[in-house]
């Protein structure tokens, strides 16, 4: 299985710079500058190489076609917001797909059951993050999944440092309540 570094290398090829129109070279520069952070965040949200590649590509396609190929005022903020929204859309599609298919039959081994329980917990957390109000979801995505400091989160979202901390606290409280309710319902 590929790791994050290999995936990034697959997504970035220096030969692309020669093939790109001069007016769009800033997009390649943004890929080089923010690509590793973006891939790390997408891995934490999606946990699946194919989905990470799809979200990464979609994000940079949106950037390259931003308002008639112009450059956004804050490229990093635009990238992270677009990537998190794309990742959430992918998660919602996966959840819908899972609900469409029938549940897996009985599992014979306890080890497989533990593995599925961990996957279920991860998927539940991703589902609930996607259900958070947009402001709270954005803070959790940037702070916890992208591991950005509060100062960067605040700057990207256009809020104060203290507000970012409050939003994260509220998001964590909501997630804890939802996850607790889910575990109570399963018993």
64: Cβ–Cβ under 8 A, 6 or more apart, which residues?
A: 24, 27
Cα 99 to Cα 17: distance, rounded to the nearest angstrom: 42
| Whether residue 17 is found in the same domain as residue 96 | yes
pTM > 0.75 = no
Q: Tell me: the pLDDT tens digits for 157-176?
A: 999 999 999 999 999 999 98
Q: What percent of the chain is modeled with pLDDT above 70?
A: 74
Report the half-sphere exposure of 41 (CA within 13 A, side-chain side): 30
Tell which residue, 89, 28, 72, 145, has the closest CA to residue 171.
145
Q: Which of 77, 101, 125 is the last residue of a domain?
A: 101
Instruction: Report the CATH number at residue 154.
Output: 1.10.10.10
Q: Tell me: the pLDDT tens digits for 71-83?
A: 888 888 889 999 9
| Whether residue 68 is found in the same domain as residue 88 | yes
| Whether residue 51 is found in the same domain as residue 7 | yes
Cα 97 to Cα 101: distance, rounded to the nearest angstrom: 7
Cα 78 to Cα 69: distance, rounded to the nearest angstrom: 14
Q: Highest mean pLDDT: which of 22-26, 58-62, 64-68, 169-173? A: 169-173
Task: Report residue 13 as tokens.
Answer: 């090829």
Domain of 44?
1-101
User: What is the residue-wise DSSP string for 11-72?
Assistant: H--TTHHHHS-GGGHHHHHHHHHHHHHHHHHHHHHH--HHHHHHHHHHHHHHHHTTTTTPPP
């Amino acid at each position: 299985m590929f790791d994050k570094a290999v995936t990034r290398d697959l997504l970035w090829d220096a030969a692309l710079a020669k093939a790109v129109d001069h007016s769009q070279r800033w997009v390649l520069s943004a890929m080089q500058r923010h690509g590793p952070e973006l891939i790390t965040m997408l891995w934490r949200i999606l946990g699946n190489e194919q989905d990470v590649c799809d979200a990464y590509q979609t994000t940079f396609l949106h950037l390259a076609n931003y308002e008639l190929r112009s450059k956004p005022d804050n490229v990093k903020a635009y990238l992270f917001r677009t990537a998190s929204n794309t990742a959430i859309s992918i998660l919602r599609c996966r959840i819908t797909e899972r609900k469409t298919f029938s549940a897996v039959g009985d599992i014979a081994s306890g080890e497989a059951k533990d593995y599925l329980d961990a996957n279920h917990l991860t998927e539940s957390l991703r589902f609930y993050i996607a259900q958070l109000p947009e402001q709270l979801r954005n803070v959790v995505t940037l702070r916890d999944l992208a591991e950005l400091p509060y100062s960067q989160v605040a700057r990207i979202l256009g809020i104060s440092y203290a507000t970012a901390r409050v939003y994260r606290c509220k998001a964590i409280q909501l997630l804890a309540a939802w996850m607790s309710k889910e575990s109570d319902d399963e018993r």
